[in-house]
């Protein structure tokens, strides 16, 4: 399989036709079914969609954290353009548990998981957990690693970082634990940060603080971010480009302003129409998307959204649309275009 060199110095990650299936007794679950994405340096790419559309599995596939069995990446490439190297590496071709993938995971691509309480080890202090990652990837002494851990707690604006360094996760609030997760993820200065629902279960004030923190740290560390969320408000604040996913596929991809002001796919339009508008009398009626997401084990002949689409045509039920550019920089998978 050919591994390309970077098309330009700004590209850090390319996902090509990624397919991740889970093989169960009831059939194959097509959690990710042909995803294409491009991430550029210092870019924030938002991935949005309903629960079960494949957002988190896409991220876990990039990190090579899919549990096998039953999960397996059956096709596609995840091309990482590494810092200071002209030749790229296909992460799918690497052993998920091998030394090369372990050296990439955490050092070059890091992830902030949805629930920090289940991601942090309750038996170790937060300082030790950050320090172990620094020791592993940077080969420094325990003293230097602890100094780096303290520095990172300061960067994520945790109050009294010297004391917090020796505390356990259960001694911290949800917002503090999320800050610790961000400190852990960025401790080795990765080029890519994947944030999976980073503000879930946090109150709105803490959400705003976490978003401001991520925006500042992206500038400080010169990182690219993949932001996975169902919250369109967060996407509008943080993302540069948006990929809208439905049933394991990207159905629309564009700059964030185009997605919000000129949505093209009926599913994207439905998502935006279902978001309440506060603080003004817009006169707009809140509209829900009719029906349910089909089962990922179901083999659908045409467009997966056809059964729920208010603008469905005959061809939608017969043939599956492909993602293609309908306007400059705006890709849509829909027979309306």
What is the predicted pLDDT for the residue at 8? 54
What is the predicted pLDDT for the residue at 332? 96
What is the predicted pLDDT for the residue at 246? 94
What is the predicted pLDDT for the residue at 201? 66
In terms of Cα–Cα distance, which of 178, 165, 181, 173 is closest to 208? 178
Tell me the mean pLDDT per 10 residues along the chain, length 337: 54 95 90 93 92 91 92 95 81 92 88 77 91 86 91 87 91 85 85 85 75 83 89 88 95 95 94 75 70 83 91 92 92 94
In terms of Cα–Cα distance, which of 183, 195, 275, 241 is closest to 10? 241
Across 129-168, b (16+ Cβ under 10 Å) vs e yields bbbbbbbebeeeeeeebbebbbebbebbebeebeebbebe
**Token pair for 199:** 């503000």
How far is the C-alpha of 129 from the C-alpha of 127, rounded, in Å? Answer: 5
Q: What global pTM score does this model have?
A: 0.88
Q: Domains in the chain, ordered, with CATH? A: 11-108+190-332 (3.40.50.300), 120-189 (no CATH)
How far is the C-alpha of 40 from the C-alpha of 42, rounded, in Å? Answer: 6
């Amino acid at each position: 399989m050919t591994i390309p060199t970077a098309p330009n110095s700004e590209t850090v990650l390319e996902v090509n036709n990624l397919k991740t299936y889970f093989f169960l007794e009831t059939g194959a679950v097509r959690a990710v079914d042909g995803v294409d994405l491009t991430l550029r340096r210092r870019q924030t790419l938002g991935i949005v969609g309903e629960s079960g559309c494949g957002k988190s599995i896409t991220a876990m596939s990039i990190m090579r954290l899919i549990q096998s069995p039953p999960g397996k990446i059956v096709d596609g490439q995840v091309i990482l353009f590494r810092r200071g190297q002209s030749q790229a590496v296909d992460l799918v071709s690497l052993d998920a548990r091998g030394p090369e993938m372990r050296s990439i995971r955490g050092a070059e691509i890091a992830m902030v998981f949805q629930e920090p309480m289940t991601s942090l080890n309750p038996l170790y202090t937060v300082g030790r957990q950050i320090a172990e990652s620094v020791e592993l990837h940077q080969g420094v002494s325990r003293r230097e690693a602890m100094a780096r851990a303290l520095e990172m707690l300061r960067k994520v604006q945790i109050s009294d970082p010297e004391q917090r360094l020796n505390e356990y996760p259960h001694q911290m609030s949800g917002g503090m634990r999320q800050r610790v997760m961000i400190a852990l993820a960025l401790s080795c200065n990765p080029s890519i940060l994947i944030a999976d629902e980073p503000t879930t279960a946090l109150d709105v004030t803490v959400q705003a603080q976490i978003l401001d923190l991520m925006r500042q740290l992206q500038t400080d560390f010169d990182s690219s971010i993949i932001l996975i969320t169902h919250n369109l408000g967060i996407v509008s604040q943080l993302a540069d480009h948006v990929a809208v996913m439905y049933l394991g596929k990207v159905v629309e991809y564009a700059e964030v302003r185009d997605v919000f002001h000129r949505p093209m796919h009926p599913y994207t339009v439905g998502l935006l129409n279902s978001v309440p508008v506060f603080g003004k009398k817009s006169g707009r009626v809140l509209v829900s998307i009719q029906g349910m997401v089909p089962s990922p084990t179901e083999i659908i002949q045409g467009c997966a959204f056809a059964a729920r689409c208010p603008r469905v045509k005959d061809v939608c039920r017969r043939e599956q649309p492909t993602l293609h550019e309908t306007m400059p920089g705006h890709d849509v998978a829909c027979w309306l275009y």
